[in-house]
Amino acid sequence: MEKNVLIIGASGDIGRSIVMRLAKEGWQLMLHYNRNIRAMEANRRRLNNQSILMEIQADLSDQAGINHLLNQLVFPVDAVIFAGGSAYYGLFQDTDEQTMESMLTLHVKAPWTITKHVLPSMIREKHGRILFITSVWGEAGAGNEVVYSSVKGAQNSFVKALAKEVATSGIAVNAVSPGFIDTKMNQHLSAEAKEEIIHDIPANRAGTSEDVANTVRFLMDERSDYIHGEIIHVSGGWRS
């Protein structure tokens, strides 16, 4: 039976690795992106066109973009993966209200709204997967990333609570919490700062987007059916 997965943030480094991994497993893909059209073109070049059901461009940091995405969902959604988002660096006292609002909408309200939209059909089918890519900072917190840490912490709480509510309907809700992953999100760090972080990682290397995608693949598999409400670290032992 073909299975349809909606991947939010399919144009990011981690999102693209998830796309490729799940395509190999036979999932039919509904791919969301915001601005990175080149990454979506690269997805199409690397994949069998039959793997991609649709692509949806939407800015999920405002309500209009959320509504647009929901209006485009014409196929059944058997699973949804929230792999999108953006970081924000700076002192909390210097963070303006507009940034706070857009970060809350992008990381909290949009996933709430999308999940609420797809849940009824999953409940009817007695099966579904809802998966978040969060962050170790959602549990540990990070100075100069207070807003980002807060919204990722909210995602973790949502996962734990919703999992208890829908497990009896055959729906598994979990999160993958990456540590230091070698992606564009960390390009602002100097080479010296990266080396210092890697020195603190027991596995002695940065993680890759494929490390995250492999964990996602397992959680999407039926062999993970008894895993509910978990925040699984992919961190090489760092800050876990």
Active site residues: 148
C-alpha separations of 38 from 12, 33, 121 in Å: 11, 10, 32
Task: Count other Cβ atoms within 10 Å, centred on residue 116.
Answer: 10
Residues 138-168 as b or e (16 or more Cβ within 10 Å = b):
bbeebeebbbbbbbbbbbbebbbebbeebee
CA distance 144 to 90: 5
- 172 in Cβ contact with 164 (< 8 Å): no
Task: Identify residue 203 by its one-letter amino acid code.
Answer: A
C-alpha separations of 178 from 34, 137, 182, 237, 238 in Å: 22, 9, 11, 11, 10
